[in-house]
A = this chain, B = another copy of it.
Amino acid sequence: MWQELLKEQKWWGWGEPSRRFDFSRRPYFWPHLRSLLPLPGKAFRFPPPLEALQLPPSRLTGLALSELRRILPDARFSLEDRARLIHTYGKSYRDLMRIRLGRLDAPPDAVLFPETEEEMLGLLRWAGSHGIAVVPRGGGTSVVGGVECVPVALQRPVVVLSLRRFDRVRKIDPVSRMVEAEAGITGPKLEAVLNKEGFTLGHFPESFHYSTLGGWVATRSAGQQSTRYGKIEHMVESLRILTPSGIWQTPAFPAAADGPDFDQLFVGSEGVLGIITRVRLLIHPLPQQRLYTAFLFPEFTAGAEAVQHIVQDGFLPATVRLSDALETDFFFALREQPVSRGKRVWQEWGLKFLEHQGYRSSRRSVLILGLEGSREQVRRQFKKLRRIFRRYGAYHLGPRLGQKWYRHRFDNPYLRDELLNFNLLVDTLETACDWSRFWSLYQEVCRAIRQAYQQLGIAGIVFAHLSHIYQTGTSLYFVLLAVPDPGKELEQWAVIKKAASEAIVRNGGTISHHHGVGLDHRPWIAREIGPAAVKLLRQMKRSLDSAGILNPGKLIPDAEADSTNRT
C-alpha cells in the first residue's frame, strides 16, 4: 500500500513524482521575483535522497506488535523506514522544509491500512490498551500540522492510521441528490464516479488530487468553487464516526429540529474526537457550462466593493478570486509568452494599452470569475455581472486568461517546490471576516507580516486575494514569500506566523477559514472559541476517547501543548 503512495506523489514535495512546474514559456516570472526579492543566483536547497534519511527505530515491539499482527495482515501495515517517512508530515512549508533539512525526529512507529470498520475498531481497542497514539490520516495534505506526530505523543508509540483503503462510493441517490462515500476516497476518484452518473460534488480545494473526503470534513475545507457549492460543512447530510467508545452514526435529513446538529461537531474535529469513516453529502448535476474569465479593476478596493455587491445581490458565481495589486503583478508575470513574434508584439501592446487606460501595474487588481450552470444561466449571469463590474471600473480581460487560471488551478504547490529550491520561505495564511472589517484586517495583517520581516532583518513580501465570498463577509488568503537566513528558516517562519496570526485575531478575523487548526493554529484557538468551548471540547475528548489516543496534541489546547516550543 505505502509503495503505491510513493509512486503516486513526491514524498518530499507536491504532486506527481515526474511533474514539475512548467516555466518553459514563462520568461517573466523569475525576473519579476528577483526585482522584489534578493534571490541567490542558483537554486541550492534540494530535497535529500530518500536513502540518505535516517529515522529513529520503530518503538512498536513485543506484545503490541504481535497483537497488531492478529488484527491486520502483514501486507496492510508497515514498520519500514520508507513507509514511516512518507507518513511523518503533511505538506506545509514547515513540513517540506524539515524534510529538506533532514529533520525527521518524530516519525510514526508504524503505518496501518485497515480495510473494514471491524479492523479499525480492533485497532482502536488495541491502541487504547497499549496507550499507543493514533494519528488518522487521509491524503496527508494538511498545511497546518494536522497530521504529524507531535512531541507530546512521542512519549509513547504513535501509529498513523491511514484511511486510504476506505475509498468506495457506497451509494448514489440521484433522486435525493446525495452520495454516500467512504472517508478515504480522494477527490479525483469520487468525482470520476459521480461524473459518470452525471453529477459533481463541486468541491475542488487546491489539494483536490490528493486530499480525501474525510480530510475535507475533518478540517472544514473549502473548494475553489465554494461560493456556488458551499464549504464542505454546508454539503454534509450525515456522518459515520468511529470513536474509541463506539460508532456514532448521525441521522440524515434535509433539515430537522430534533435538537442540536451533531454533524457540525465532527465537521472540523480534526481526528481528535473520532475517525470519520463515511460521509453522506449533497451532489449537483454536472454543469452544462463552465465559464471562467478575468476582469481587471483599477484597484483592489474597487474590486472588493464589486464582489461584495454581487454576493449581497444574490449572485452565486462558482469562483470569485480577486487579487490585490502585488498578486496581480505576479499574475501578469506568470503569463505565457506567445510563440509567434506577432502575438508577442500584440501581447506587449495589450499590456501598454491597459496601463494607458488606467489599469496601472502595482495598483490594478485582477478578478477570476467562474460561472457554472446551464448555458442560459451562465450567459445571463455573465451579462449582468459584467454590467455591475463595469460600474466599478472593470475591464473585461476575456475568457482566455480565466481558462488558463482554471487549467492551472491546482498547480501552485508545484511552484512552491521550485521556490523552495532557492530556500525561499513560502507560506499561505487564510482568514475570514465581516465585510465591515475586511479592509482594515487586510491592511493590518500585511503590515504585521512586513514588520516581522523587518524585525528579522530579512527581505520578504506579502500579497493576498479575496475568495470564498459570503453575504456577511469574505475570506482573505495571504501568500508570504521571504528570504530567510539559512539555518534559521523554521525559527524565522515561526516569528512571522505568530505575528500574522496575532494580527488576524486582533483585527476580527478567524484564525482559519479552511486550512483548519492542527498544530499551527492551536495557540490561538482558545482565544477564538472561548473558554467554555475549550472546556466542552476537552470533556467531549475525555468522553469519546478516554485513553486520549486520537491525534494527541492537535486542535484542543491544553496547558502542556500551549507551552511547547514548536520550531
Contacts of A258 in B (CB 8 A): 268, 510-512, 516-517, 521, 525, 528-529
Task: Kindly supply a per-residue 1/0 record for chain A positions 467-505, scoring 1 wherever the CB is within 8 Å of any chain B CB and 0 otherwise.
Answer: 010111111000000000000000000000000000000
Q: Which 9 A-B pairs have the closest CB atoms?
A: A254-B473, A220-B257, A264-B264, A254-B470, A176-B434, A256-B510, A248-B532, A175-B436, A261-B264
Contacts of A256 in B (CB 8 A): 220, 432, 510-513
Contacts of A249 in B (CB 8 A): 530
If A257-B515, A434-B176 touch, whether A246 touches B470 (CB-CB below 8 Å) is: no
Nearest CB to that of A270 among chain B residues?
Answer: B259
Task: Kindly supply a per-residue 1/0 record for chain A positions 389-413, scoring 1 wherever the CB is within 8 Å of any chain B CB and 0 otherwise.
Answer: 0000000000000000000000000
Identify 24 residue pairs between A and B in the complex whose beta-carbon atoms are under 8 Å apart, listed by A's number: A175-B434, A176-B437, A176-B473, A177-B435, A178-B472, A219-B257, A222-B257, A251-B510, A252-B434, A254-B432, A254-B472, A255-B470, A255-B475, A257-B513, A257-B517, A258-B511, A259-B269, A259-B529, A259-B533, A259-B555, A260-B268, A261-B264, A262-B536, A282-B472
A259 B517 Cβ-Cβ under 8 A: yes
**A183 within 8 Å of B (CB atoms):** no
If A434-B173, A472-B237, A533-B248 touch, whether A264 touches B255 (CB-CB below 8 Å) is: no
Q: How far is the CA of A307 from the CA of B237 in the complex (A)?
A: 21
Q: How far is the CA of A525 from the CA of B251 in the complex (A)?
A: 11
Contacts of A237 in B (CB 8 A): 472
**A267 within 8 Å of B (CB atoms):** yes
Nearest CB to that of A555 among chain B residues?
Answer: B259
Contacts of A514 in B (CB 8 A): 255, 257
Contacts of A221 in B (CB 8 A): 257
Q: Which residues of A approach B to under 8 Å, CB–CB?
A: 173, 175-178, 219-222, 231, 233, 237, 243, 245-270, 282, 284-285, 312, 314, 373, 377, 432-437, 468, 470-475, 509-517, 521, 525, 528-533, 535-537, 539-540, 543-544, 555
A530 B264 Cβ-Cβ under 8 A: no
Q: Say how many copies of this protein the assembly contains.
A: 2
B529 A535 Cβ-Cβ under 8 A: no
Contacts of A173 in B (CB 8 A): 434, 436
Q: How far is the CA of A245 from the CA of B531 in the complex (A)?
A: 11
If A237-B472, A258-B521, A516-B257 touch, whether A543 touches B536 (CB-CB below 8 Å) is: yes
Candidates B261, B512, B513; contact of A233 at CB < 8 Å: B261
Nearest CB to that of A173 among chain B residues?
Answer: B436
B251 A373 Cβ-Cβ under 8 A: no
Q: How far is the CA of A512 from the CA of B260 in the complex (A)?
A: 12
B261 A267 Cβ-Cβ under 8 A: yes
A178 B261 Cβ-Cβ under 8 A: no
If A259-B525, A525-B258 touch, whether A250 touches B533 (CB-CB below 8 Å) is: yes
**Interface-central residue, A262, A284, A475, by most chain B CB under 10 Å:** A262
A254 B433 Cβ-Cβ under 8 A: yes
Contacts of A248 in B (CB 8 A): 530, 532-533
Nearest CB to that of A556 among chain B residues?
Answer: B259
**Interface-central residue, A173, A253, A260, by most chain B CB under 10 Å:** A260
Q: How far is the CA of A158 from the CA of B155 in the complex (A)?
A: 52
Candidates B262, B285, B521, B536; contact of A529 at CB < 8 Å: B262
Q: How far is the CA of A267 from the CA of B265 in the complex (A)?
A: 13
Q: Name the distance in Å between A470's Cβ and chain B's nearest Cβ.
A: 4
B543 A250 Cβ-Cβ under 8 A: no
A264 B260 Cβ-Cβ under 8 A: yes
Q: How far is the CA of A231 from the CA of B536 in the complex (A)?
A: 26
Q: How far is the CA of A248 from the CA of B535 in the complex (A)?
A: 11
